[in-house]
Structure formats: structure tokens, C-alpha cells
Amino acid sequence: MLEVAHLVGVALLLGNLLLLEARVWGLGAALPVQPLARLSLGLAVLGFGLAAASGLTMFATMPSELLGNRVFTAKMALIALAACNAGWFHGRRSLQRLDGTARALLGVSTLLWLTVLTCGRWIGYV
Ligand code: HEM
């Protein structure tokens, strides 16, 4: 059940980020950015909260194995990097500008979260 909760969280996070990214990249131009961003980022944060809570609970069941797992360490470092990227995106008020940097930072965000997802699946194989 923890893995199910984890994957629901991952789906909410990535699905909503991709929706916002599509809008910032110019798709669905009729949709107003600010309300769409409020909704999609709210759901993405909820998804991350669910993934983090279930992930930390799974971690608590086997901490020493996971702390010795290089892929788990890489996954945590990538999550920290994704948080810095999000801080940069919002710190420069990208949603008010929608310029090339905003598009690039959202692209980097999606790549980082996809790599986090890949590491999550990979943990069990090393
Ligand atoms: C603080 C945040 C997180 C922690 C502590 C955490 C921890 C974990 C742990 C302990 C596992 C089980 C590994 C195993 O035994 O095979 C796992 C699996 C996984 N995680 Fe995370 N995780 C977090 C966030 C995320 C995020 C944000 C994503 C995706 C963007 C993600 C994607 C995955 C995936 C795809 C799996 C494999 C699930 C499966 O095979 O059923 N995790 N995570």
C-alpha cells in the first residue's frame, strides 16, 4: 500500500508539472497561466508530499540497506537539486515572464523528476 501511495504521489507530481510545462511552452494558449499554475502546482506539491511521506515510511523499514545504496543517495541528491531548480524558477518570478529561461527551467525540472523516477525504480536492482 505504501508503494501504491508512492506512485499516486509521483503521478500527481509529474502529471501536473507536465501540464504547466505544456502551457508555458505555448500549448493551450487560451488557458490563463496564473489560475492554471495555482491549481497544477498545488496538486503537484500535494503529490510530492504523498511521495515523500510514503517514501520516508518505506525508508524507515530498511534504513541501513538504503543508506548504503548509491542509487538511493543519488535520488535524494536529485530531489534536492529539483528543489533548488524550483526555487530559482519561482525566485525570478518565471510565471510572470514566461521567457526562454522559464521554459528552460521547467524543461530541466521535468528531466530531473524523470531521473528521480528512474532512480526510484532502479533502487531495487542494485
Ligand atoms: C523524500 C522523498 C522520497 C523518498 C524518501 C523516497 C523513497 C523511496 C523508497 C524507500 C522506495 C523503495 C525502493 C525499493 O525498495 O525498491 C522508493 C521507490 C520509488 N520511488 Fe521514491 N522516494 C521519494 C520521492 C520520490 C519521487 C519524488 C519520485 C518520482 C518523481 C519517486 C519515485 C519512485 C519510484 C518510481 C519508485 C519505485 C516504486 C515501485 O517500484 O513500485 N520517489 N522511493
State the DSSP string of 49-104: HHHHHHHHHHHHHSHHHHHT-HHHHHHHHHHHHHHHHHHHHHHTTHHHH--HHHHH
Tell me 4's DSSP state: H
Percent of the chain with pLDDT over 90: 98
On whether the CB atoms of residues 53 and 1 are closer than 8 A, the answer is no
Provide the residue type at 9 as one letter.
Answer: G
Position 7 scores a pLDDT of 98
Position 59 scores a pLDDT of 98
**Average pLDDT of span 23-39:** 95
Position 92 scores a pLDDT of 97
- Closest-lying ligand 1 atom to the alpha carbon of residue 51: 24
On whether the CB atoms of residues 59 and 66 are closer than 8 A, the answer is yes
**Rounded distance from Cα 120 to ligand 1 centre (Å):** 4
Please report where in the chains the cell 491549481 appears, as a residue: 39
What is the C-alpha separation between 99 and 124, in angstroms, rounded? 40
Q: How confident is residue 117, by pLDDT bands cut at 50, 70 and 90? A: very high
pLDDT in tens, 47-93: 999 999 999 999 999 999 999 999 999 999 999 999 999 999 999 99
The Cα-based distances of 19 to 72, 87, 112 in angstroms read 27, 19, 16
**Average pLDDT of span 107-123:** 97
Burial of 75 (0-12, 13-18, 19+ CB in 10 A): buried
Position 47 scores a pLDDT of 98
Position 43 scores a pLDDT of 98
Position 57 scores a pLDDT of 98
**Rounded distance from Cα 92 to ligand 1 centre (Å):** 30
Mean pLDDT score across all residues of the chain: 97
Q: Is the CB of 11 under 6 A from ligand 1?
A: no
